[in-house]
């Protein structure tokens, strides 16, 4: 059976593509299903929201089914789906424009701690690593470039949301997925000159919103030994209710955000001060148990709380950690509604 190169680690069987184009629902489902996670990651980068990305992948497949006869084979089926997905995201952003908001004053702050970026992305959501593996298995190269840490981490996701939608699309297609200028121009139905111009504007704008030392980070797909050790120390601090351990695992200039709420804390000392009453003392919320997990190729603490009188520990929050030099530089805290997405137990 003839096969067509379909991008990183994939081939498309000509007979399956032909059957799908002719209206074979089974063939269409098989073909599109093999790209579901990859396209969801693409939409997630475009939108910054896991939930919206799920919806837009469904929209992509609906559009593809309705327009299946328009696929002429001049590109791979994968490239055709990427075109539909990108345009679906751009249409969504046209209908639902959203911009990062000016960051409000922190609820607590260390006077000497350097300020984080002046804006916040309130719609940012985590992407569980367990759902990234079907996109790029650990033994699949170069599939791993599709979900490489430096292009899926929360810092990158937040920064890229500051770009205008079409600049965002160009940067993702060119610098993340490695498409050529001509391929990108064809997908966006524009000129190569326009693509090059958009990329020249997008790269410096993106850099303005990334952490200062991000260029020094080592690209990685697997958790590093350092990240695992830092996560365990953070877990120990919460479970033992020990502010001293927590202080020892935070950078002096660490900061914590809690999307979609505008609440945030600046400085390691301020974070310890804010969380100490919840862990120890007469106002302590209860007993804590914390499970390790991973999102956006970053360590995550999944915290469960057992309140006085309860027999079970119940989901409380997820803390996504950004680690620098063996310490936590940033904590992004999400609510308990994401526990099922991570496959975490409903109680302990």
Which class is domain 3-97+121-208?
mainly alpha
SS3 state at 48: coil
pTM: 0.90
Q: What is the pLDDT of residue 11?
A: 45
The rounded distance, in Å, linking the Cα atoms of 140 and 130 is 15
- Write down the CATH number for the domain with range 225-342: 3.10.450.50
Residues with Cβ within 8 Å of 308's Cβ and at least 6 positions away in sequence, in order, are: 286
Per-residue pLDDT of the chain (348 residues; tens, 9 = 90+): 233 344 444 445 677 777 777 777 887 888 888 899 999 999 999 999 999 999 999 999 999 999 888 887 777 888 999 999 999 999 999 999 999 999 999 999 998 888 888 899 999 999 999 998 766 544 444 344 555 667 899 999 999 999 999 999 999 999 999 999 999 999 999 999 999 999 999 999 999 998 876 655 554 556 788 899 999 999 999 999 999 999 999 999 999 999 999 999 999 999 999 999 888 877 789 999 999 999 999 999 999 999 988 999 999 999 999 999 899 999 999 999 999 999 999 999
> In terms of DSSP H, where are the helices of 144-242?
154-160, 165-171, 181-188, 192-208, 225-240
Residues with Cβ within 8 Å of 4's Cβ and at least 6 positions away in sequence, in order, are: 11, 12, 14, 17, 76, 77
- Helix (H), strand (E), coil (C) string for 73-121: CCCCHHHHHHHHHHHHHHHHHHHCCCCCEECCCCCEECCCCCCCCCEEC
Half-sphere exposure of 290 (CA within 13 A, CB side): 24
Delimit the domains of the chain by residue range: 3-97+121-208, 225-342
SS3 state at 62: helix
**152 closest CA partner among 211, 203, 220:** 220
Q: What is the pLDDT of residue 135?
A: 63
SS3 state at 210: coil
Q: What is the pLDDT of residue 142?
A: 38
């Amino acid at each position: 059976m003839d096969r067509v190169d379909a991008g990183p680690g994939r081939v498309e069987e000509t007979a399956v593509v032909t059957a799908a184009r002719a209206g074979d629902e089974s063939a269409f489902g098989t073909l599109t299903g093999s790209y579901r996670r990859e396209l969801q990651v693409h939409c997630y980068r475009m939108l910054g929201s896991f939930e919206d990305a799920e919806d837009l992948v469904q929209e992509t497949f609906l559009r593809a089914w309705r327009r299946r006869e328009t696929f002429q084979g001049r590109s791979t089926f994968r490239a055709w789906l990427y075109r539909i997905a990108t345009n679906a995201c751009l249409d969504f952003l046209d209908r639902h424009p959203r911009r990062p908001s000016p960051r409000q004053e922190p609820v607590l702050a260390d006077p000497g701690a350097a300020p984080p970026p002046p804006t916040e992305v309130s719609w940012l959501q985590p992407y569980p690593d367990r759902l990234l593996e079907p996109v790029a298995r650990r033994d699949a190269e170069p599939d791993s470039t599709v979900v490489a840490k430096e292009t899926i981490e929360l810092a990158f996701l937040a920064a890229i949301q500051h770009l205008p939608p079409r600049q965002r699309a160009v940067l993702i297609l060119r610098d993340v997925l490695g498409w050529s200028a001509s391929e990108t121009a064809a997908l966006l139905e524009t000129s190569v000159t326009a693509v090059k111009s958009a990329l020249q504007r997008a790269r410096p704008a993106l850099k303005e919103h990334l952490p200062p030392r991000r260029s020094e980070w080592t690209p990685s797909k697997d958790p590093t030994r350092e990240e695992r050790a830092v996560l365990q120390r953070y877990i120990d601090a919460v479970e033992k209710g020990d502010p001293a351990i927590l202080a020892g695992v935070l950078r002096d200039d660490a900061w914590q955000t809690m999307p979609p709420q505008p609440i945030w804390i600046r400085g390691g000392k301020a974070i310890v001060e804010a969380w100490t009453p919840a862990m120890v003392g007469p106002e302590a919320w209860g007993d804590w148990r914390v499970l390790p997990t991973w999102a956006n190729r970053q360590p995550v603490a999944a915290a469960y709380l057992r309140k006085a009188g309860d027999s079970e520990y119940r989901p409380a929050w997820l803390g996504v950690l950004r680690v620098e030099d063996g310490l936590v530089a940033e904590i992004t805290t999400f609510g308990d509604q994401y526990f099922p997405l991570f496959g975490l137990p409903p109680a302990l």
